[in-house]
């Protein structure tokens, strides 16, 4: 009877984690490209499991709110981000991997704050790429 309970608990926990894994898929972003957008911060949330950022960006279609997502709080902090570095109303530049469906927004790979501080991250494709071989080897 104990084995049945353990097996049921494992199935339940395993099934509960599947939606979380799917949520963190970065398959919707084209990490082979890097684009930039400059705009005014409308909202910023740097929390786990990942950050989200809304910028008001002006372009050919006028001003529009564009949604971005990115790394976790831990990765942001290791890259040099500190609380209150980006605030609502700040004008910042964001570097990002664009969405594959050509909708506005993307996955943040770095940003420049209104006072010129830069924070950059390794994007998933860079994190999984082996270092280049040394010349002559």
Q: How many domains does the chain have?
A: 1
Domain that holds residue 72: 35-127
**Residue 110's CATH number:** 2.40.50.1010
The pLDDT tens digits for 53-111 are: 999 999 888 999 999 999 888 888 888 889 889 999 999 999 999 999 999 999 999 99
The answer to whether the predicted template modeling score (pTM) of the entire model surpasses 0.85 is no
Query: In the prediction, which pLDDT does 37 show?
Result: 96
Residue 121 binned pLDDT confidence (cut-offs 50, 70, 90)? confident
Residue 128 binned pLDDT confidence (cut-offs 50, 70, 90)? low
Residue 9 domain-assigned (yes or no):
no
Tokens of 129: 């790429």
- Whole-number Å distance between alpha carbons of 28 and 129: 19
Residue 8 domain-assigned (yes or no):
no
Q: Is 40 exposed, middle or buried (0-12, 13-18, 19+ CB in 10 A)?
A: middle
Query: φ, ψ for residue 76 (rounded to 5)?
Result: -60, -45
Query: In the prediction, which pLDDT does 66 show?
Result: 96
- Whole-number Å distance between alpha carbons of 65 and 42: 8
The pLDDT tens digits for 18-39 are: 444 445 577 899 999 999 999 9
């Amino acid at each position: 009877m104990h084995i049945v309970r353990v097996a049921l608990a494992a199935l339940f926990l395993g099934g509960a984690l599947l939606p979380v894994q799917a949520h963190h898929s970065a398959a919707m972003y084209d990490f082979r490209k890097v684009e930039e957008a400059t705009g005014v911060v409308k909202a910023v949330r740097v929390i786990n499991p990942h950050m989200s950022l809304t910028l008001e960006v002006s372009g050919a279609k006028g001003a529009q709110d564009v949604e971005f997502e990115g790394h976790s709080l831990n990765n942001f902090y290791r890259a040099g981000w500190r609380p209150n570095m980006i605030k609502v109303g700040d004008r910042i530049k964001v570097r990002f991997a664009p969405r594959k469906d050509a909708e506005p927004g993307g996955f943040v790979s770095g940003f420049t704050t209104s006072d010129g501080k830069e924070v950059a991250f390794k994007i998933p494709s860079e994190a999984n790429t082996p270092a280049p071989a040394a010349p002559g080897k």
